[in-house]
Amino acid sequence: MDKNKKKERLFVVFIVSVVLTIADVAFVGINFWTAKAALDKSLMRRARSHMQGIEIAVAITKRNMLQLAFHYADHDDLNQLFLQGKKGLELEGEGSATATAVREAMLQRVKPGWDEMTEQFDVRQLHYHLGLGSLSFLRVHKPSKYADRMDDIRYTVVDTNLEKKARMGFETGRVYSGLRGVVPISTIDPDNNLKTHVGALEVGTSYMGILKHIDEIQGIGSAVLLTKQHAERNMWPEEIERRFGGKLQNCECYIEASSRSAVETKEIILATKEIDFLGSVSALEIIELAGKYYIVYRTPLRDYRGELDASLPVAGSTVIWDEATSEITNFHQDIQLNIIYGVIGFIVIELVLFFAMGVKRKYHEIEQLVGLDGLTGIPNRRDFELRLVNEINRARRNNQTLSVVMCDVDYFKLFNDSYGHVEGDECLRQVAKSLANSLGRAGDYVARYGGEEFVFILPNTSIEQAVTVTEKARIAIECLAIEHKGSKVNAVVTMSFGVASTIFSDKENVDLINVADECLYEAKSVSRNVVVSKLV
C-alpha cells in the first residue's frame, strides 16, 4: 500500500514537473518573443527617426541651392556675357573664339567669390548650361570641361530650359552627384531690345556635408550609395575610377558619400546579409561587427527623374548605421536571466513567479532624439523654447524684427475620428515635412508645439514678410491634397495660422507666443484656413 502511494506521489511529482517544465519553457518563450518584438519596434523607430532627420536636412539643402542659384542669376553683367557666349557659338561654331573669351571673362568674374564661398560653406558646383537641352558652357568648379551635352542625364537642366521654371533635386552628372538647384537665365538682347532666354544656371552640393553634420550632432554613421547601373549610365568612366576606385561586391554599388571612413563604411555594407541595396523597399538589419552590434537601415534613393516616375529604377540607397551594443547585449542578458529564473522556478514555483516578474522587461520605444519630435522628426517644443529665447536676445541686441507663427490643423480631431490615429500620425508627418520645405531661409525655424500645433520662428522678418511666408505655407498644406471628409471648411486637410511680429529694442518683453495664439484663435473663429497677423 505504501509502495502504491509512493508511486502515486512520484507520478504526481512527475506530472507536476512536466507541467512546470512546459510552463517554464512557455514562459521563457513568451518573454523572448515579447522582448524581441519590443526591441525590434524600438530599433525601427529609432532608425526611422535618424533617416527622417536626413530627409529634412536634404530638403532644406536643396532649397538653399536654389536660393543660391537665384542669387547668381540676378547678376545681369554675367547674364550679358552668357548671352554673348551663346551668340558666339551660334555664329562661329564649337571652336568659337568669342565663346572662349566670354567663358574666361565669366570665370574671372565669378571664380574668386565662388572659391571663397566653397571654402566657407558647403557648396561644390556652379555650372552654366545652354539650352535647349543641356549643353555645358562653363563649369566654374571644373573649367577645363565644357561643350559636352547632357540632354539624357541632366533632366533638371533640360526641364528648366524647356519650361523656363526653376527645378531642384538630386542628380548625377558627368563628374559629380549632387543636390542641385537650377534656375533659368534671361536678359535683354541689345540687338533687338527683347528679353531673351539664354540658358540655365545650376548650383549644387554633395551629401557629404549633410551626413557629416548629422553625424557630429547625433553620432550616427550614414552613407549614400549609387547603383553601378546609375553611375555608369551618367558619369564619365575616368571620373568613376577617380572618385570610387571600385564597387562594393555585395551590392553592386559605389559609395557616393559617407560620414565615416571608407573602411568603416565598406565593413558595414559588407556585413549586411539581408538588405537589398538595389531594391525599392526600406529595410532594417541588425549586424555584428568586431564584437559590436549595429542597426543598419536603408531607404531607396531616387533622383530627380525617379521622383517624377516611380517606375524607374532607384538611383541607389541612403544608409544609416547606429551602434546598438548596449540594447542587444541587455536583451541577450535578459533572455539568459529568464532561463536561469525558469530553472529556479522549476524547483520553487513561488520564486519563479517572483523572479519572472522581475526579469520580464519591455524595452521602451525611443520616442525622440535630443531636441527632436519623435513622430515628425522636426524640433520639439523644448528645443523651440530654447531657440526662441536665443532669437529674442539676438533681435534685442541688433534692434531687429522677430516674427512668430502659431498654426494648427483644422478639425484634426474629426480627421482622427474619420480615419484613425495611424492615418492621423501620417498626416502630421506630411504636414511637418511640408512646413519645413516651405521655409526659404537657412535661419527660418519650424517645430512641433504639441498635438496638431506647429510654430515658426522667422528672425529679422517684418510682419509683411512673415505673412507672405505663412501664406506660402498655408497653400503648401492645402496642396498636399490629403482627404479630410470631416472638415467643415474644405475637402482636404488645411491649417489656420496666427502671426505675431515685433521690433525688440528697450521695450519690455512681448509675449509673441500669446499674441500669435490669439491671432490663431481669431483665424479659427473667422473661417479657418486663413492667416491672421498682428504687429505689437
Check which CATH number belongs to the domain holding 175 and give it.
3.30.450.20
pLDDT for the residue 348: 64
Return the C-alpha cell found at 82.
Answer: 552668357
Kindly state whether residues 467 and 406 are assigned to the same domain: yes
Kindly state whether residues 186 and 289 are assigned to the same domain: no
CB 384 within 8 A of CB 376: no
Return the C-alpha cell found at 117.
Answer: 564661398
Catalytic one among 202, 256, 391, 452? 452
pLDDT for the residue 510: 83
Kindly state whether residues 395 and 481 are assigned to the same domain: yes
Give the CA diameter of the chain. 125
pLDDT for the residue 360: 38
Q: Which residue in this structure is represented by grid cell 536571466? A: 337
Collapsed DSSP state (helix, strand, coil) of residue 199:
strand
Told to judge if 452 belongs to the known catalytic residues of this protein, a careful annotator would answer: yes
Helix intervals (H) in 246-370: 262-271, 304-308, 325-347, 349-359
In a domain, 275, yes or no: yes
CATH number at residue 434: 3.30.70.270
Q: How many domains would you assign to the chain?
A: 4
Kindly state whether residues 125 and 223 are assigned to the same domain: no
CA angle 476, 482, 485 (to 5 degrees): 130
In a domain, 63, yes or no: no
pLDDT for the residue 9: 64
Kindly state whether residues 17 and 85 are assigned to the same domain: no
In a domain, 56, yes or no: no
Collapsed DSSP state (helix, strand, coil) of residue 406:
strand
Per-residue pLDDT of the chain (536 residues; tens, 9 = 90+): 455 656 666 676 677 667 767 766 776 677 778 878 888 888 999 999 999 999 999 999 999 999 999 999 999 999 999 999 999 999 988 888 999 999 999 999 998 888 888 888 888 899 999 988 999 999 998 898 888 888 988 999 999 999 999 999 999 988 889 899 999 999 999 999 999 999 999 999 999 989 999 999 889 999 999 999 999 999 989 989 888 877 887 788 999 999 999 899 999 999 999 899 888 899 999 999 989 999 999 999 999 999 999 999 999 999 999 999 988 888 888 777 777 766 676 666 544 333 333 333 343 344 444 689 989 999 999 999 999 999 999 998 888 999 999 999 999 999 999 999 999 999 999 999 999 999 978 889 999 999 999 999 999 999 999 999 999 999 999 999 999 999 999 999 999 999 999 987 756 678 999 999 999 999 999 899 999 999 98
pTM equals 0.57
Pairing of strands 316-323, 445-450: unpaired
In a domain, 62, yes or no: no
Kindly state whether residues 278 and 343 are assigned to the same domain: no
pLDDT for the residue 347: 64
In a domain, 66, yes or no: no
In a domain, 287, yes or no: yes
Kindly state whether residues 319 and 341 are assigned to the same domain: no
Kindly state whether residues 304 and 198 are assigned to the same domain: no
Return the C-alpha cell found at 278.
Answer: 538595389
Kindly state whether residues 528 and 424 are assigned to the same domain: yes
Kindly state whether residues 226 and 201 are assigned to the same domain: no
pLDDT for the residue 27: 65
Kindly state whether residues 220 and 348 are assigned to the same domain: no
In a domain, 370, yes or no: no
Q: Pick the closest to residue 173 from 209, 129, 208, 216 (CA basis).
A: 129
CB-based burial of residue 339 (10 Å sphere; 0-12 exposed, 13-18 middle, 19+ buried)? middle
Kindly state whether residues 176 and 97 are assigned to the same domain: yes
CATH number at residue 270: 3.30.450
pLDDT for the residue 506: 59
Look at residues 186, 205, 224 and tell me which one is the last residue of a structural domain. Answer: 205
Whole domain around residue 37: which residue ranges? 2-47+331-359
In a domain, 503, yes or no: yes
